[in-house]
Structure 1
Amino acid sequence: MASTTSADVLPTGGRIFTSVPDLFFLPEFVFGGLVWILVASSRVVLPNPLGWVMFVSVFCFVITTLWFFIFLCGANQSSIWPSLDVGYHFVAVVFYLSASVALAFVTFTHGVLIVSDEQIKIYRLEISAVVMSYVATLLYFLHAIFSAIRWKRA
């Protein structure tokens, strides 16, 4: 009978591009980066929670990049990595969901106060950021679910 080792649980190298939870790395980069760019291009009003949104998008972008390279280089072969993978993606989901709700609220309140063409442009950027933020939340949620399934199989 073959025993399951941590090498069978987490892929390394090019195999991360073929395993279900790890396929979400690249879309998480793209949509997380878009949230970062779109929020950074809008105007920040002082009592505005966009600082939290920026923190979440930059934090998750950097940590996901680090996570991706750890998986790519094969440094994820310790038995703790499956649970760390689930834990990080769960935290990312909670962070992104809270940031998405805050961003949607700010966008909604800015939509009421539109009076110029410049404000319409910023409002459209904020709407795009809200959509991308919810897509990033969904991607991190799917990654967390599939990582939890993989963790339970181990």
Structure 2
Amino acid sequence: MAANTGQMGYLPSGGSIFCTIPDILYLPELLFGGVVWCLIASTYIWSHNPTAYVITVSLFCFVMTFLWMMIFACGSHRNKSSWATADVAYHAFAALLYLSASVLLAYVTILLRALTTFDNGLFLYYKLDIAAVVFSFFTTLLYVIHTIFSAIRWRSF
């Protein structure tokens, strides 16, 4: 069961990061961010396609979220309010990056639909792009929720 986020001056460390409300979202963020990364990496990328930005965002957020989770799991943050501020700032930045990447990916998918028919080879890439758009927006939602609950925890310091 997830713990309350309203604990005064408390940043979890060790295994307890998987028991608090904002920090329990690390694993879904990593999972769905990795799915976005894999789906985009397996689609067709033509020369003027801006999905390289989407791959960069998903890879950056995947690595940084993993490192951020390890900082909290190892207890390197030492329960200071500056870490709570940095947690809110990072997750807000990641949510903004994922939102921009999701909108761009949706736009590229709409453009790909105009080129796609059921009989050509682009239909598979179109379906992969649709799945990537769905997972990308869901990952954006996870980062936004994490930002909101981290901000609630930050205000309690």
TM-score bracket relative to the smaller structure = over 0.9
Between the aligned partners of 2:104 and 2:72, the Cα distance in structure 1 is: 32
- Amino acid across the alignment from 1:36: W
> Residue 49 of structure 1: CA displacement?
1.2
What do the CA deviations read for 1:20-47 (whole angstroms, capped 9, x no partner)? 0001000000100000000000011111
Correspondent of 1:104 among 88, 97, 106: 106
Cα RMSD (Å) of the superposition? 1.4
Instruction: Please name the residue that 1:42 is paired with.
Output: 43
Partner of 1:3: none
Kept in 2: contact 1:9–1:82 (CA 8 A): no
User: Which consecutive unaligned segments of at least 5 residues does structure 2 have?
Assistant: 1-7
Aligned residue among 112, 120, 123 for 1:120? 123
1:1-154 pair list within 5 angstroms: 8-77=9-78, 78-115=80-117, 116-154=119-157
Whether contact under 8 Å (1:97, 1:134) holds in the other structure is yes
Q: Aligned partner of 2:135: which letter?
A: M
Amino acid at match of 2:70: F
How many angstroms does 1:97 deviate by?
0.2
Question: Percent identity between the aligned chains?
Answer: 49
Gaps of 5+ in 1: 1-6
For 2:81, what is the secondary structure of its paired residue?
Answer: coil
How many pairs are equivalent? 149
* Structure 1 length-normalised TM: 0.93
By how many angstroms is 1:117 displaced? Answer: 4.1
